[in-house]
Amino acid sequence: MSQSNFIPTLADVAKKAGVSTATVSRCLNSPDQLSQATRKKVMSAVAELGYAPNFNAQSLAARRTNTVGAIIPTMDNAIFARGLQAFQEELGNLGKTLIVASSSYRPDLELEHIKTLTARGADGLLLIGYDRNPEIYNFLKQRDVPSLVAWAYQTDTDQTSVGFNNEKAIRPLIEEVIALGHRNIAFISAPKKNNDRARDRVTGVRMAMQRAGLDPRSLKLIETPYSIENGQAAFQKLVALDCPPTVAMCGNDVLAAGAIKQAKEMALSVPDYISITGFDDIELASLAEPQLTTVHVPHKAMGKIAAQMLGKMIDQQIVESQELSTELRLRGTLTTPRACKLK
């Protein structure tokens, strides 16, 4: 029953193979420097003992970990989950492993995780969005760990990023909304504080309104964390207004799904009574009934590219920020406004 539980080290392998520890180390890291014969000896010793290198010792001695860290707001949202899955797969191809932490949209937790991951010797870090305390960027610079911002793209900074311009991404959507004749517009957003993506989407809407000669201040804005339930609640508030909006634009598809659900429960026709739009284009969007009009974001591509960029940054190569394009997906939940009548 109780097998000896003995965890072999380099030294054990060396002894068994009758060589030095240096040779074993070489055999594992740069096999071509060895002669056939010794390589064979070492390999069979490794196999016999079931040796596996101790990672901590390895990275302590070599001063690199082949590990990258990612700090995302939450795993419990398809967009991050999907992007991260792609990120991780590509990292695997590069021989690196991923450590994920989630901040729950809390800056203090994010900072803590950044410190933890740094202490663990992460060779690089993936962060979501730009918004964070400057001390974080200073910390990163001081420790000399490369960091890549994803899910956002800005040009007026030296922080490398891969993503899209949220303000620009939502433009075709809001312009379509306005072109259809909507004048009584609502937007259900995530809390804008500490969230540049959310903020930029709202800004994009307001700017388009301005350009179209509408008063940006007339935008009915509700801020609430991303969740189906919150989408429902926000939608309920909107339709209870004296003059309910003719379109409820949502900061992401999850909120929009909540809005659609609530509309159904209240027997309000979408899009005849009220139009609804989303952002992200997750699976939900095309499964909803009617299918959700939204903005498609290339999450998988973003994850994959992020891994490649970060890999290069870790190798001290210079990499340029990369802008990805998004695409309007016109589907069933957006149409012309109902005849406007005050209640």
Partner DNA sequence: TTGTATGCGTTATCAA
Partner DNA sequence: TTGATAACGCATACAA
Binds 28: which of its own copies, DNA, none (CB < 5-8 Å by kind): DNA
Closer residue to its own copies (CB): 41 or 82: 82
The three state secondary structure string of 262-314 is HHHHCCCCCCCCCEEECCECCHHHHHCCCCCEEEECCHHHHHHHHHHHHHHHH
Please, what is the minimum distance in Å from the beta carbon of residue 122 to DNA? 15
Angle formed by the axes of helices 299-314 and 78-93, nearest 10°: 40
Helices within the chain (DSSP H only): 10-17, 21-29, 36-49, 55-62, 78-93, 107-119, 134-143, 166-169, 171-179, 196-211, 228-239, 253-265, 283-287, 299-314
Contacts of 33 (CB under 8 A, 6+ apart): 26
Q: Which of residues 196-255 bind its own copies (CB under 8 A)?
A: 228
Binding pattern for the stretch 288-307 against its own copies, x by CB under 8 A and - elsewhere: xx------------------
For 80, phi then psi, to 5°, come to -75, -40
Please, what is the minimum distance in Å from the beta carbon of residue 240 to DNA? 56
> Is residue 193 a contact residue for its own copies (CB under 8 A)?
no
Q: Which of residues 74-103 bind its own copies (CB under 8 A)?
A: 74-78, 81-82, 84-85, 88-89, 97-102
**Which of the stretches 13-21, 134-142, 198-206, 243-251 binds its own copies when contact is defined by CB under 8 A?**
134-142
d(CA 291, CA 332): 5
Please, what is the minimum distance in Å from the beta carbon of residue 123 to DNA? 14
Binds 43: which of its own copies, DNA, none (CB < 5-8 Å by kind): none
Contact 195, 248 (CB under 8 A): no
Closer residue to its own copies (CB): 119 or 342: 119
Contact residues toward its own copies (CB under 8 A) are 3, 5, 7, 50, 52-57, 59-60, 65, 74-78, 81-82, 84-85, 88-89, 97-102, 104, 115-116, 118-121, 139, 141-144, 228, 257, 260-261, 264, 283-284, 286-289
